[in-house]
Structure 1
Amino acid sequence: MVKRISILVFGFLLFSCSTSNKVVEKKPLYEVLATNNNGGANIKFYEILTEPKEIMMLLGDESLRKKIKKDDTVKSNFLILNSGPTKETYNRIKVEKVVETEKEIIVYIKDTQKETEIDLSDENIIYPYTIIKINSKKPIVIK
């Protein structure tokens, strides 16, 4: 009886301590979470969200709540690119590329805004914005 129990314990230990190769999913450096043609602010700005309290405000948006996990607030930074008012039918601000260096994350932005004055009383004005998740807590530089 003692032999059987010791064999079972040994077998259990042998299989429970296996060296199975777990595949670690590598996340992309950045993800575009939302690009909307309306709903942004009436000024052009770029905002970097780094603090968990700042990032938690994004969870108030129904569509973003599904894309942001709880641990993203401590493992990721977020970037809000607000285009300001426009009559153009597409978002003028695009992310060209994102590069990670030893010390920081560099986000290259292309803004195709035309140099025209917008009449804010016009009903055809839209307010595009983009929200990006950077899968790193390194400081972000926008170029």
Structure 2
Amino acid sequence: MKKIIAFFIISIVLFSCASKTNNADKLTLYEILKQEEHGGANFKFFEIISEPKEFKMLLNDADLKKKIKAADIYTCNFLLLNMGTKSSGGYYFIIETIEEMENDIIITIKENGPKGIATSVMTNPLAIVKINSKKNIIIK
């Protein structure tokens, strides 16, 4: 049941994201690998994972092992997005825009809260995003 709900939420997030790029292949610039209500840090922060030592953390995650390869660190950057502690469930990240420039990738991230009834349990939402480029990343 959790997998069905997670699939539904991820599907909504993926289809509601806008993507801008100069390349013909617009849909493959990024991929949301994981989005969960639990497992994030107690405080809000965004981290760009671009070095092999940092990348080992992702390779140790059972879910992510199926979605990434060790060689991805040489062609991709990864974003670890933590929302911090929230007082209820239903919080998640949306990538509003992603724009590939000559030297940079500019990403606009939005935090969404619960709509309607949500669980009244403390949560620590997180998302892990794969950026299929090694260009400099600017988060807005």
TM-score when normalising by structure 1: 0.71
Between structures 1 and 2, the one with greater strand share: 2
Identify which of 126, 130, 135 aligns with 2:127: 130
* 2:139 is aligned with 1:139: no
Q: Deviations over 1:99-141 (max 9, x none)?
A: 1000101111112469xxxxxxxx8211110000000000100
- Work out whether residues 81 and 130 of structure 1, in 8 Å CA contact, stay in contact via their aligned partners in 2: yes
- Work out whether residues 35 and 91 of structure 1, in 8 Å CA contact, stay in contact via their aligned partners in 2: no
Query: What amino acid does structure 1 have at the position aligned with 2:41?
Result: A
Which residue pairs with 2:88 in the alignment?
A: 88
Query: What amino acid does structure 2 have at the position aligned with 1:82?
Result: N
Q: Deviations over 1:68-110 (max 9, x none)?
A: 1121011100001101011232234321121100010111111
SS at match of 1:127: coil
Separation (CA, whole Å) in 2 of partners of 1:55 and 1:91: 26
Which residue pairs with 1:30 in the alignment?
A: 30
Which residue pairs with 1:108 in the alignment?
A: 108
Query: What count of residue pairs does the alignment treat as equivalent?
Result: 111
Gaps of 5+ in 2: 1-24, 115-119
Which residue pairs with 1:76 in the alignment?
A: 76
Query: What amino acid does structure 2 have at the position aligned with 1:70?
Result: A
- Which 10-residue stretch deviates more, 37-46 or 83-92? 83-92
Separation (CA, whole Å) in 2 of partners of 1:30 and 1:93: 14
Cα RMSD after superposing both structures: 2.2
SS at match of 1:98: strand
TM-score when normalising by structure 2: 0.72
Separation (CA, whole Å) in 1 of partners of 2:32 and 2:89: 19
